A = this chain, B = another copy of it.
Amino acid sequence: MAGQVQRQTGVALWRQIADRIRQAISAGAYDETGMVPPETVLALQFGVNRHTVRSAIAALAQEGIVRAVQGRGTLIERKERLNFPITKRTRFTAGIGEQAREMRGLLLSYSEEKADAEVARGLKIRPGEPVVRMETVRKADGRPVSCATAWFPAGRFGGMPDAYKRTESITKAFAELGLSDYVRATTEITAVHADEADTAALELAPGAILLITKAVNTDLEGVPVQYAISRFAADRVQFTIEN
């Protein structure tokens, strides 16, 4: 934990410190003890007052990452970061494999609408053609991992929302609708600060970072079957691209 913390940036010191400690935990920096260093030590390291460190730790405790015990110290409760391989065979549920016991996809809402320019480009259809839009949130062991907005060609996959609601999986829903296999064609990745809606849906520490993917899945003939914008809690996941 080398670098210092910045002042007057519009990002409160306690938030910066919380982010740094969260990352240090995730990187295994405190694995030997299973505890975060004492508040006085952290305050010295970051060059801030102990009370500022306490604010950071309170935020991490709120997230359920650490638990402060009077007289003992601050214990690390969780340190996982889910890994998502991005390949031709990218699947949310199966890709997680043994990293979580249970993966669920929940349908928040859906509607039929006309494709805008972006969706049309992704699905290789004409703007204005009908598409089914689904808003979903995906959880690993009950912990929200990502929100997604997905579009499907309405003609071929009008039954998507219903199938997804039952199966809680895109792959299984596709299978129910007669598409036994599909491949990831393209993925774009960016990062932004989370907005209010995603903060709520993902139970994020407010002000957290989202990793955004825009992905196109096609059938085996290369015809686009899904265009999706997914928003991942950046402190809970990482992506891996194997070539």
Seen from chain A, the residues whose Cβ lies within 8 Å of a Cβ on chain B are 3-6, 8-12, 14-16, 18-20, 23, 59, 81, 83, 86-88, 90, 183-193, 195-199, 206-207, 209-211, 234, 237-243
Complex contact B9–A207 (CB within 8 A): yes
Docked complex Cα distance between A10 and B58 (Å): 12
Contacts A211-B189, A240-B187 hold; do A15 and B6 have CB atoms under 8 A apart?
Answer: no
Docked complex Cα distance between A183 and B239 (Å): 19
Docked complex Cα distance between A10 and B242 (Å): 36
Complex contact B10–A186 (CB within 8 A): no
Docked complex Cα distance between A198 and B20 (Å): 14
CB-CB under 8 A from A10, the residues of chain B are: 11-12, 14-15, 18, 59, 206-207
- Majority DSSP secondary structure for residues of A touching B: mixed
User: Number of copies of this chain in the oligomer?
Assistant: 2
> Closest CB of chain B to A14's CB: distance in Å?
6
Interface centre among A4, A189, A206, by most B CB within 10 Å?
A: A189
CB-CB under 8 A from A193, the residues of chain B are: 11, 16, 19, 209
Complex contact A186–B19 (CB within 8 A): no
Complex contact A243–B183 (CB within 8 A): yes
Complex contact A241–B11 (CB within 8 A): no
CB-CB under 8 A from A238, the residues of chain B are: 188-190
Docked complex Cα distance between A239 and B206 (Å): 25
